[in-house]
Structure 1
Amino acid sequence: MTDEMLPTELLTTMNEQFPCRAPQIRRLAALVGTDETPSPPAIVLHGLEATGKTTILRTFMDSVNASYTAGVTENVGGGDAGRAGDVCALGVRLSGVLSGVERKHFLVLDRVDRTREGSSVLFAALGRLGEMIPILTVIFILSVPKPRLLSSAEPPHIHFAPYTKEESIKILSKYVRRIPFQDIEEYTQKDAKEELYVWQKFCGTVWDSLAKGTARGVVQFRAIVDEMWEPFVKPIAEGEYGTRNYSSLYLLHKDMFRRETNVIDVVVPVGAGEKAVTKIHDLPYYSKFLLCAAYLASYNPARQDAVFFMKNNDFGRKKRRGGTTGSTKRTAKNRKIHRRLLGPQAFPLERLQAIFAAILPHRMSSSADIQTQIATLTSLRLLTKASATDVLEAGAKWRVNAGWDYIRHVARSVKFDIEDFVAE
């Protein structure tokens, strides 16, 4: 359909309401036509989310006063004609409802590709409804069309491509947010032009830094811009910067465009008032040292216990100075994988108690019950049994069930430098 066949007022109104979608509107108008011109049995509108497929279709249908529906009896006339159990029954129902209608009718199936039981057979059957009923056209709205979707002659497609950076900024510039000036007396056309300048520059910066990789459409892009707008223009509103000093204003707020806090609500929706809670067990004093000892017993070789935990060896702290060239080469040749990557190793209970006594900075209180502390760690699944023997037997083996970050946090809470006792 040429522009002469489409009313000029309608084309202008649609283009103003939906910028950057003039080609899609013209193709839609050519396929829908008028009641005197034929339409294809099926039409496919496809594109990613927030590209205007459903909104533009509904607005256009209402503007040209076309007969369309998303249900069988809605806007067609007649009451409840009963339920259709399959596509064949649906075709019979539609034929009966549309038998006395002289106008063309359009059946809109939005997001039909997201149905649970959707298959190529179902889509093909729905597409042939337009061939069975001459005045009916089925319009499919899909995210991504599949090849040979309707298993028949390929229906006409209208692609709603994702908005580019320039198109997204143009759409957002239709509704520019005001700068809350504190000392402005009268809002003039010059103020509006200056706000538009800052708004477009700001939208471009947000797109390049955040929205291009996180926002999936114009709606999310707008949400990010609205979230960051007021903090960004606050120095302008207070008179500290001018509207043409955008580079200086960007340098002042450059950290704002590096953080992800402004897009978390868009990418990961969080309920109002919810706060992130880090779950750390509030362990007793001796249990923390026991857990550190269990980690050292699981990740340190038993043959190096004398090196790390001898009392007369300055607690066996690792030497910070470099060794000989031969020892360095020999270590690199014999050990290629870090022990922390090999997982925790099993250890007997006697070794755990010995390491615990070595790393404890003072004598243990007589009222402390080590067995109860071990039972507490076991109930919290921070210690797990690694052998099939009974817990009370001497040969029972255990292993730690906590990661390095958690253990380091526990060690720092009791001012224990566990890094000096971990074998490399």
Structure 2
Amino acid sequence: MEGRNDETPDRETLSLTKLLPCRESQIKLLTTLFGKRGDMTVPALFVYGHTATGKSAVINSVLKTHKLPHVLVNCVECYSSGFLYEAVLCALYTCQGSQKSDAPVRCDNMNDFVRLFRQTCVNLDLLNETVYIVLDKAERLREMDANILPAFLRLQELVDGNVCMIMLSEIVWEKFQCGTGFQEPYVVHFPDYNKDELLRILMRSAPAEFSEDLYQMYLSLVLSVFHIVCRNLSELQHLAAINFKKYIEPIKNGEATESDNRKLWKNFEPHLKKALQTVYLREVSSTQWERMLEESDMGKMITQQGLSSRTHVELPYYSKYLLIAAYLASYNPARSDKKFFSKHSDKKKKPKVVRKQERTNNHVLGPKPFPLDRLMAVFYAIVEGKVAPTANIFMQITSLVSVHLLAQVAGNDQIDVPKYKCLVSFDFIKSVARTVNFDVVRYLYDFV
């Protein structure tokens, strides 16, 4: 396999490192692996890392900057193997600027895909060049036909040409391996950005009308609060953008200068605590948030208009009980479940050894993870009427995770028991409980 000359980095690589900071090592590695246009490269490349770690941005930028023929397909949009094959073939028609074929490409199996892919490469004069197929959200391949993943990993061998299969995923490669026929891909890891790297990236959006020192101080305050609970770059960029106006409010009013860090922090701290409750929830848009900042009673508006309307309208009936059960499982110790939910518990035999004032407040410590079986036990104990454990109930748990009301903290494979954690605030769960006439405070360990 040929590679680029490592003695002098080309201008394209240097521009990429400036465009995508904190990913210099990954850009250099990918540039070396891809080589020049037409060079043979690795048959398969597996790129993994958490959300918003720059995987797609780096891969696409490297391919576009060096003008390498490539195809980008999101596996979420292809819910069947046939649609996936056809999406790759249709995108291949246009990767070189060619007009898409008028007749729709029909491909039902892997044999047809290999034949049509080779034929398309001949028609587009791509036999002497490496074609890169990028599959985003590649974990969806595990849910398709069993032969898709092994065949894609050996596609260079099957089509007898220069093809590189690039799979982007948020989970590790070990969870893809099953059965036989696998050819190990070259694995590239995109680690999470550390605090200094996040600060460096966020500083690129510094407003021109204020000094960089002021904006850096502002970002340091935001990261000191949110970095513990949120490492997602996209979320942090959103939070930094919508909250900066509140931070500089005393400066615009003439009550403080840029160097009055203590006065700026004192004005900003209560607002930051309210913003912390809305991480991942997106209860209000950026425009609505900015409009609320101009109101004197902003906190009350967010609670009443943002939280209440969201819980009244959007959650199905059983999802509300599932969310309440998740909140109780997150903030109640497991030993208290028998006391709260067992019909035959003997409450007289167990005197209170620890007084309420001496207990550790679980709401201060934050939510604790809990297993799926405990969630279902609490759910069946509090829900009205008899509910069968159908697939519909478990699908609603998945939906709560997808909208970031719950977080799955373990159990991605077939061995570990799934574990979850509730992400909503106390005010949020009280408004949910009111819609189903459930007294959630009565079942919380911190309030009895």
What interval of TM-score do these two structures reach, taking the shorter chain for normalisation? 0.5 to 0.7
Q: Which residue does 2:350 correspond to in 1?
A: 336
Check 1:240–1:178 CA distance in 2 against 1; reply closer, same or farther (3 A cut). Answer: farther
Q: Which residue does 1:232 correspond to in 2?
A: 247
Q: Which residue does 1:85 correspond to in 2?
A: 108
Q: Which residue does 1:209 correspond to in 2?
A: 225
Distance 2:19 2:277 in 1: 27
- 2:148 corresponds to 1:146: no
Q: Which residue does 2:120 correspond to in 1?
A: 97
Letter in 1 for 2:223: W
- Matched-pair contact (CA < 8 Å) for 1:165–1:204: no
- Matched-pair contact (CA < 8 Å) for 1:45–1:142: yes
Please give the residue correspondences for 1:152-301 in structure 2 after superposition, counting only pairs within 5 Å: 152-178=182-208, 195-213=211-229, 215-259=230-274, 261=275, 264=278, 266-270=280-284, 276-277=308-309
- 2:56 corresponds to 1:41: no
Check 1:196–1:263 CA distance in 2 against 1; reply closer, same or farther (3 A cut). Answer: farther
- Matched-pair contact (CA < 8 Å) for 2:141–2:149: no
Distance 1:63 1:333 in 2: 70
Check 1:3–1:235 CA distance in 2 against 1; reply closer, same or farther (3 A cut). Answer: farther
Aligned-residue offset at 1:211: 4.2
Aligned-residue offset at 1:3: 6.7
Check 1:241–1:2 CA distance in 2 against 1; reply closer, same or farther (3 A cut). Answer: farther
Distance 1:403 1:88 in 2: 57
Letter in 2 for 1:162: D
Check 1:103–1:247 CA distance in 2 against 1; reply closer, same or farther (3 A cut). Answer: same
- Matched-pair contact (CA < 8 Å) for 1:124–1:152: yes
- Matched-pair contact (CA < 8 Å) for 2:35–2:41: yes
Aligned-residue offset at 1:6: 6.5
Letter in 2 for 1:205: L
Distance 1:265 1:30 in 2: 39
The count of aligned residue pairs is 280
- Matched-pair contact (CA < 8 Å) for 2:44–2:153: yes
- Matched-pair contact (CA < 8 Å) for 1:48–1:161: yes
Please give the residue correspondences for 1:58-69 in structure 2 after superposition, counting only pairs within 5 Å: 58-69=60-71
- Matched-pair contact (CA < 8 Å) for 1:46–1:141: yes
SS at structure 1 position matched to 2:173: coil
Greater Cα shift, 155-164 or 76-85: 76-85
In structure 1, stretches of 5+ residues that fail to align are 180-191, 280-331, 339-382, 385-400, 408-423
Q: Which residue does 1:108 correspond to in 2?
A: 134
Please give the residue correspondences for 1:52-63 in structure 2 after superposition, counting only pairs within 5 Å: 52-63=54-65
Distance 2:254 2:21 in 1: 34
Distance 2:155 2:43 in 1: 8
- Matched-pair contact (CA < 8 Å) for 1:176–1:196: yes
Q: Which residue does 1:184 correspond to in 2?
A: none
SS at structure 1 position matched to 2:46: strand
Check 1:405–1:58 CA distance in 2 against 1; reply closer, same or farther (3 A cut). Answer: closer
Q: Deviations over 1:88-114 (max 9, x none)?
A: 221111111113422111111111213
Q: Deviations over 1:201-224 (max 9, x none)?
A: 2112111212430x3421110111
Distance 2:284 2:155 in 1: 43
SS at structure 1 position matched to 2:132: strand
Check 1:275–1:37 CA distance in 2 against 1; reply closer, same or farther (3 A cut). Answer: closer
SS at structure 2 position matched to 1:51: coil
- Matched-pair contact (CA < 8 Å) for 1:41–1:130: yes
Aligned-residue offset at 1:120: 5.7
SS at structure 2 position matched to 1:212: coil
- Matched-pair contact (CA < 8 Å) for 2:44–2:164: yes
Check 1:171–1:57 CA distance in 2 against 1; reply closer, same or farther (3 A cut). Answer: same
- Matched-pair contact (CA < 8 Å) for 1:120–1:149: no
In structure 2, stretches of 5+ residues that fail to align are 73-87, 289-304, 313-345, 353-383, 386-435, 443-447
- Matched-pair contact (CA < 8 Å) for 2:154–2:183: no
- Matched-pair contact (CA < 8 Å) for 2:235–2:280: yes
RMSD: 3.4
Distance 2:14 2:272 in 1: 37
Letter in 2 for 1:158: V
Distance 2:146 2:440 in 1: 50
Distance 2:440 2:65 in 1: 62
Q: Which residue does 1:131 correspond to in 2?
A: 157
Letter in 1 for 2:60: R
Distance 1:88 1:269 in 2: 48
- Matched-pair contact (CA < 8 Å) for 1:47–1:143: yes
Distance 1:45 1:158 in 2: 5
Distance 2:67 2:264 in 1: 50
Q: Deviations over 1:95-153 (max 9, x none)?
A: 11113422111111111213583366421121111222221111111111332746534
Q: Which runs of 4+ in 1 moved over 6 A?
A: none
Q: Which residue does 2:95 correspond to in 1?
A: 75
Check 1:334–1:240 CA distance in 2 against 1; reply closer, same or farther (3 A cut). Answer: closer
- Matched-pair contact (CA < 8 Å) for 1:81–1:93: no
Aligned-residue offset at 1:171: 0.6
Distance 2:257 2:64 in 1: 45
Larger Rg: 1
